């Protein structure tokens, strides 16, 4: 912006936009179109994928909180690091299969967020559904991909949360036996356990 335009727009304390040039108008319209194209690319499936990713990350946070006594000291963990940590803490094979599906959802989210090809996203969704159907069979007859994906995500997330809660309860019981034997204080019972109020 030229000095004279700036001075003119600030005269008498008034803030006025300088007149729009043809070049500015074209640039503004292209930027707006780019935004609208990105926004219109957000399909119900993409919205469901983002919601699933968020829910799975909250689930991973809960698992870490339940399984590690000092989890609040962990810093800077992204989805992949949380997933790796929970994998290392989960001896349960079926829960590990759920974590494999969490990983596929992360891949789908990354591809959708970075506007990779629809074919890539659709292929990963198909991979997720195939693996979910194989590892967690259901009698669902849903044909709509978005609804089927949402249903599988809800089931797998709920299943995983339940497995972690049982593991936490069992690890607490095992710790309590050792604590009694060695005269150590029992674990703090104020951590958040699904279905249990602190």
Model pLDDT for residues 20-78, shown as the tens digit of each residue = 889 988 888 888 888 777 767 678 888 899 999 999 999 999 888 888 878 888 888 99
Instruction: Find the mean pLDDT for residues 108-127.
Output: 87
* Mean pLDDT, the chain, whole residue set: 79
Does position 99 have pLDDT exceeding 60, yes or no? yes
Does position 169 have pLDDT exceeding 80, yes or no? no
Rounded CA gap, 142 and 151, in Å?
Answer: 9
0.85 cut: is pTM over it? no
Nearest to 95 by CA among 166, 24, 193: 166
Does position 116 have pLDDT exceeding 90, yes or no? no
Tokens of 148: 């089927």
In our burial notation (b when 16+ CB lie closer than 10 A, e otherwise), range 124-145 reads bbeebbeebeeeeeeeeeeeee
Rounded CA gap, 99 and 86, in Å?
Answer: 8
């Amino acid at each position: 912006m030229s000095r004279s335009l700036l001075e003119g727009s600030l005269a008498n304390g008034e803030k006025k936009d300088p007149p729009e040039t043809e070049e500015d108008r074209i640039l503004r319209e292209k930027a707006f179109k780019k935004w609208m194209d990105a926004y219109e690319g957000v399909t119900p499936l993409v919205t469901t994928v983002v919601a699933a990713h968020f829910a799975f990350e909250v689930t991973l946070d809960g698992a870490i909180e339940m399984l590690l006594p000092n989890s609040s000291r962990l810093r800077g963990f992204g989805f992949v690091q949380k997933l790796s940590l929970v994998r290392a803490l989960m001896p349960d094979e079926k829960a590990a299969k759920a974590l494999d599906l969490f990983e596929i959802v992360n891949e789908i989210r990354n591809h959708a967020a970075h506007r990779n090809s629809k074919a890539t996203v659709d292929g990963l969704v198909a991979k997720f559904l195939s693996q979910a159907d194989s590892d967690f069979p259901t009698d669902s007859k849903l044909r709509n991909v978005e609804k089927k994906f949402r249903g599988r995500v809800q089931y797998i997330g709920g299943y995983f949360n339940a497995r972690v809660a049982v593991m936490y309860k069992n690890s607490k019981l095992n710790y309590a036996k050792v604590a009694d034997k060695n005269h150590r204080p029992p674990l703090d019972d104020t951590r958040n356990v699904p279905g249990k109020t602190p």
